[in-house]
Amino acid sequence: MENLITMFSDPAYWDSLSRIIPKALNETLYMVIVSTFLAYLLGIPMGVLLVITSDNHILPNPWIERILGTIINIFRSIPFIILIVALMPFTELVVGTYIGTKAAIVALVVSAAPFVARMVESSLKEVSAGVIEAALSMGASPWQIIRKVLLPEAKSSLVLGVAITTINIIAYTAMAGAVGGGGLGDVAIQYGYNRYRSDMMLITVFILVVIVQLIQWSGTTLAKKLFHR
């Protein structure tokens, strides 16, 4: 206890924190924001395709649904820590390195995009078949149904999906720290675990918990406002 009091009262301790934590927090937020955006850029089309090619939907095609579903399931079944190592050659090809924040984003997107696709699929399948049939009866094209019926009707569920996906990506960024991905996870490993600094572990965990709570609260609040049924 005395050691903790001495450490917390030392200006040098707070000076080191002010140099380490803000930089790590910025790296984590950068990874989360960019990865979430890119994951949804890839995941939304895949999720939409899974839905519209399913039986009794607007463009049924069992072959596309099965092949795409299988690919998504394969990537979803690979643990992230294994995926980030397996993707190192591909990551180096894409961003020029397999270490650091930019390198971690590649693995984060590859891991999160299939998850997003399933989240989008689940949300769109909640849309009433009657609404889709009404749009078809009025001569709406498949693209119009996707853009003006499926996505708008599922927006509340989609927002909740964004919150859940973002929280999962935050957890992945912490694991990325184990292989030099940067961010708060890297601080926890390098300064906390490797140097037996429980205070650094607690600080990073506390920051991550606060971020997760804010994202979940924001997502839930916005989803309630968008829910109109």
Per-residue pLDDT of the chain (229 residues; tens, 9 = 90+): 445 455 555 566 666 777 788 888 999 999 999 999 999 999 999 999 999 999 888 899 999 999 999 999 999 999 888 888 888 889 889 888 888 888 889 999 999 999 999 999 999 998 888 888 898 888 888 899 999 999 999 999 999 999 999 999 998 888 877 667 778 888 887 777 777 777 788 888 899 999 999 999 999 999 888 875 5
The model's pTM is 0.87
166: domain range? 2-226
Q: Cα-flanking dihedrals φ and ψ of residue 132, to 5°?
A: -65, -45
Euclidean distance between CA atoms 89 and 106, whole angstroms: 11
Euclidean distance between CA atoms 26 and 173, whole angstroms: 12
**What local confidence, expressed as pLDDT, does residue 52 receive?**
94
**What local confidence, expressed as pLDDT, does residue 7 receive?**
55
Q: 142-181 as b/e, with b when 16 or more CB fall inside 10 Å?
A: eeebbeebbbebbbbbbbbbbbbbbbbbbebbbbbbbbbb
Task: Give the dihedral sign, CA 96/100/105/107.
Answer: positive
The number of domains in the chain is 1
CB within 8 Å of 152: residues ≥ 6 apart: none
CATH number for the domain spanning 18: value is 1.10.3720.10
Residue length, the chain?
229
Measured over all CA atoms, what is the biggest interatomic distance in the chain, rounded to whole angstroms? 76
